Amino acid sequence: MQVTETARDGLKRTLQVVVGKAELGERFTARLDEIKDRVEIKGFRKGKVPVAHIKKLYGKTLMQEVLEQTLNDTSAKAVKDRNERPAQQPKVELVDFDENAFDRIVKGEADLAYKMDFEVLPPIPVADLTTLKLEQLSAEVDDAAVDKALADLAERNTSYEPEEGRVAGEGDLVTMNFVGRIDGEAFEGGSGEGQSLVIGKKQFIPGFEEGITGMKAGDQKIVSATFPEDYPMKDLAGKKADFDVTVTAVAKPKKPEVDEDFAKGLGAEDLKALRGFVSEQIKREYDQASRAKLKREILDALDKAHTFELPASLVDFEFDNIWKQLENNLKATNKTFADEGKTEEELRAEYRGIAERRVRLGLVIGEIGEKNKLQVSQDEMRRALVEQARRYPGQEKQVYEYYEKTPGALAELRAPIFEDKVIDYVIAEAKPVEKKVSRDELLKAVEEATEN
């Protein structure tokens, strides 16, 4: 095999590869030897078919297999011998290859020539992680937070008791039938039977809850309400609708007291134990929020600390995925670029910047992990797969089969685990400074980090 670099432009490479006819002949002969004892042809005993006869009958087919395998083997070796890492699978194109060329190769009269176009990953000098200035927020769980969580828990466990003649008011559960019309015409999704809503929870469009307040079982009324201007369904946005409502039942709320009986009803030994469980849960939530904020800070710091040429093919691939997702979202919500408040050109520039950041961080994270031998174990992959399967009750077998047959899906499952390992490593190296904050300050910081 002869390899010649014919072009080099930044990270782009073009190689000319020639596999000599002698090597092709050896590969072809080896392939014949592999199958000769397995071939069954009428008139011959198994394993006794003359090689010349096999070659005559199956020569072209076997050579096609040999050529495909040769392309795979030699293209991989050509890159490996150069100690380069392709950013993506190289594009391979045969040179001056036609039916006559194929026949000459089969006859052992011609070499196999092809060119390879690919981009290589750039050298990535990882910054000194110990110099990163990081701050880790920490919030303590106080009694007020536990009290609020218990009150919310009690709210979620509210039951409702039907009461004859009760007039619907704040907090009541109203069951009803209704038919909605716009300009006298019923519209899709505007009708319902046996529908329930709790007054005050803003479950319907503005004006509806106010309209049914004061009604009782058996009452019928036309309730007018207006769809918001930003309503997802464009054909309804901003329009006024009239709903013919018949109330069938009104039930009053019965919120449990947060006491010993309430705690035992939730499986706790007593109220003190329940408060302990709730406090631990809140602490986990705080820690998760703190880590999310710190992770974003780390990614920002890594992005800022590294500057190197990015493979255009990876950036284009990432940008295309982001752009397709944006177009699909706009289509699903019946919106346009104008609704985003920017021109298409401005959005393209913005999302290309996002694509570049993702590619840069992906390469940096991969480099940190590789240099420090961070790996995802089989047990970690197994646990992730089990967790993924649990999200689809009754379809666990199909989930397992999907991941077994789809290597790309396994890579997607592995990626976040690997990234978290790198984040943990960076934290250990950078040793963030701990800063005590209140719950509100923590959540505000996380929100701001998410928006930026």
Position 448 scores a pLDDT of 84
Q: CATH number of the domain at 262-451, please?
A: 1.10.3120.10
CA angle (320 as vertex; 315, 322 as ends), nearest 5: 95
DSSP annotation of 438: -
Tokens of 341: 């408040």
CB 67 within 8 A of CB 21: no
Nearest to 112 by CA among 15, 14, 22, 6: 22
Position 48 scores a pLDDT of 63
Position 198 scores a pLDDT of 95
Position 56 scores a pLDDT of 72
CB 74 within 8 A of CB 23: no
Position 334 scores a pLDDT of 77
| pLDDT per residue as tens digits for the range 103-143 | 888 778 888 899 999 999 999 999 999 999 999 999 999 99
Tokens of 180: 């909605």
The class (CATH top level) of 158-254 is alpha beta
Position 65 scores a pLDDT of 87
Sign of CA dihedral 281, 439, 302, 355: positive
Distance between CA atoms of residues 435 and 49, nearest Å: 80
Tokens of 140: 């303590």
Q: How far is CA 450 from CA 77, 292, 444, in A?
A: 44, 9, 10
Q: Which fold has domain 2-119?
A: Alpha-Beta Plaits (3.30.70)
Position 39 scores a pLDDT of 67
Low-confidence ranges of the chain (pLDDT < 50): none
CB 146 within 8 A of CB 446: no
Give the residue extent of every domain in the chain: 2-119, 158-254, 262-451
Q: What is the pTM of this model?
A: 0.76
CB 241 within 8 A of CB 179: no
Q: What is the DSSP string of 61-86?
A: HHHHHHHHHHHHHHHHHHHHHTT--B
Q: What share of the chain is helix, strand, coil (3-state, %, to 5)?
A: 50, 20, 30
Strand partners, 138: 436
CB 162 within 8 A of CB 211: no
Position 107 scores a pLDDT of 79
Nearest to 219 by CA among 281, 268, 176, 189: 176
